[in-house]
Amino acid sequence: MPGFEIFDESEKQQINEVMEQGFTFRYNFDGMRNGVWKARELEGMICDTLNVKHAHLVSSGTAALTTALAAAGIGAGDEVIVPPFTFVASVEAIVLAGAIPVFAEIDETLTLSPQGIRAVITPRTKAVNFVHMCGSMGHMDEIKAICDEHNLILLEDACQATGATYKGQSLGTIGQVGTLSFDSVKTISCGEGGAVLTNDETIYNNAHMYSDHGHDHIGMDRGAEGHPIMGANYRISEMNAAVGVAQWKKLGRILDIQRRNKKALKDALSQYSEVSFRVLPDAEGDNAGFLSFFLPDETRAREVVKALGEQKVPGVFYWYGNNWHYFKNWTHIQQMKGPAKLPIELIADRPDYTQVKTPQSDAIMSRTISMLINLSWSEADIQQRIDAFANVFKK
> What architecture is the 252-394 domain classified under in CATH?
Alpha-Beta Complex (3.90)
Spatial contact of 317 and 372, defined as CB atoms under 8 Å apart: yes
pLDDT at position 86: 98
Residue 373 has pLDDT above 80, yes or no: yes
Residues of the chain within CATH 3.40.640.10 domain(s) are 3-250
Residue 93 has pLDDT above 70, yes or no: yes
pLDDT at position 235: 98
* Three-state SS at 101: strand
Q: Which residues pair with 212 in a beta bridge?
A: 233
Could you tell me which CATH number the domain at 3-250 has?
3.40.640.10
The H or E element containing residue 12 is: helix 9-21
pLDDT digits (tens, 9 = 90+) for 144-198: 999 999 999 999 999 999 999 999 999 999 999 999 999 999 999 999 999 999 9
Where would I find the H helices in 100-178?
114-120, 140-149
Spatial contact of 346 and 229, defined as CB atoms under 8 Å apart: no
Residues of the chain within CATH 3.90.1150.10 domain(s) are 252-394
pLDDT digits (tens, 9 = 90+) for 301-313: 999 999 999 999 9
CA distances from 169 to 51, 200, 286, 351 (A): 8, 16, 12, 35
The H or E element containing residue 57 is: strand 54-58
Residue 243 has pLDDT above 90, yes or no: yes
The terminus-to-terminus CA distance of the chain in angstroms comes to 30
Region 315-332 average pLDDT:
95
Average pLDDT, the chain: 97
What is the band of 395 on the pLDDT scale with cuts at 50, 70, 90? Answer: low
Residue 272 has pLDDT above 80, yes or no: yes
How far apart (Å, rounded) are the C-alpha atoms in residues 159 and 300? 30
Percent of the chain scoring above 90 in pLDDT: 98
How far apart (Å, rounded) are the C-alpha atoms in residues 67 and 83? 19
Spatial contact of 42 and 244, defined as CB atoms under 8 Å apart: yes
Q: What's this model's pTM, rounded to 2 decimal places?
A: 0.96
Q: Which residues are catalytic?
A: 186
pLDDT at position 117: 98
How far apart (Å, rounded) are the C-alpha atoms in residues 152 and 144? 9
pLDDT at position 1: 79
Counting DSSP H helices and E strands in the chain, the numbers are: 14, 13
Residue 377 has pLDDT above 90, yes or no: yes
Packing angle between helix 61-71 and helix 89-96, nearest 10 degrees?
40
Percent of the chain scoring above 70 in pLDDT: 100
* Three-state SS at 374: coil
